[in-house]
Amino acid sequence: MAVVWRDRRDLDRPVLVIGFEGWFDVAQAATEAVRHLAGRYDAAEVAGIDAEDYFDFTARRPEIRLVGGDRVIVWPPNDCVGATTPGTGRDLLLLAGTEPHLRWRSFCDELVEIIRATRTELVITVGALADAVPHTRPPMVRGSSTNPDLAARLGLDRPSYQGPTGLIGVLHDRLDREDVPVISLRVSVPHYVANTPNPRAAQALLRHLERVTGISTGYDDLEDRISEWALQVDRAVAEDSEVAAYVRRLEAQADARLPLDLPSGDDLAAEVERFLREQHPDE
């Protein structure tokens, strides 16, 4: 096994939030949301997965960095960090990682080991996909779960996608077979600005994470970055009349569309908590 334990801290009924760089992380929205949480709660390393067996280093090369005058090789990271969240009744385990190139089933074995060892009760994966949506409207966040009870109680979709998948799809299948409750949150990112970081999309994921878990995510802290980002995109769009007209069409479509995001309500996190308590009646 390639799990490297660094601090087996005693986390209280943790929720594991996962975002991977790569195909399911358009505009870095998913990994930015997870890293924001890690910084907010001063998270510390719990465990990592050694990169040796899972990466093609000709495709994703390690980096050499100078640390205190010493040369250090930094391998593609997949480190879980833990954070205590006082007053919430549960803690966070966070992984802002890099989707591996190889042996996805074995990689999922490593994640299951971490989940079992930390007694993680719920896994939430976050992702971002390019879509025909305008940057001027609140990003749509869709939620789904393969667990029929959890999906019904939270008003989530049941996955219906068929086609090529990434590590997240493989992981969901594995966790479902391991009877580990897992929720997917996916934000839509404007495809015409998909190659630059999108703090508005990251904020949307953080807002929905807070509603599901009841843990404060500090999503308002991104407002200054969002304002700067929106101003830059507005200027770029205004310089091209065809792009500006296209954005106006997207705005009209978005305004006519029924909301597709997670159900609202202050009791969403409470319903999640009741569900998890029912899965562990003796704890």
Cα–Cα nearest to 143, from 74, 205, 85, 197: 205
In this prediction, residue 39 carries a pLDDT of: 95
In this prediction, residue 168 carries a pLDDT of: 92
Structural domain range at position 23: 3-279
Long-range pairs of 73-79 with CB within 8 A, sequence gap ≥ 24: 75/50, 75/51, 76/51, 76/100, 77/48, 77/51, 78/48, 78/49, 78/51, 78/54, 79/45, 79/47, 79/48, 79/49
CATH number at residue 12: 3.40.50.10900
Q: How many domains does the chain have?
A: 1
In this prediction, residue 159 carries a pLDDT of: 76
In this prediction, residue 264 carries a pLDDT of: 54
In this prediction, residue 154 carries a pLDDT of: 83
pTM: 0.92
- Whose tokens are 């006082």? That residue is 86
**pLDDT beneath 70, residues of the chain:** 1, 258-267, 281-283
> Over the stretch 161-177, which tens digit does the pLDDT of each residue have?
788 888 999 999 999 99
In this prediction, residue 170 carries a pLDDT of: 93
- Whose tokens are 């495709």? That residue is 59
* Amino acid type, 280: H
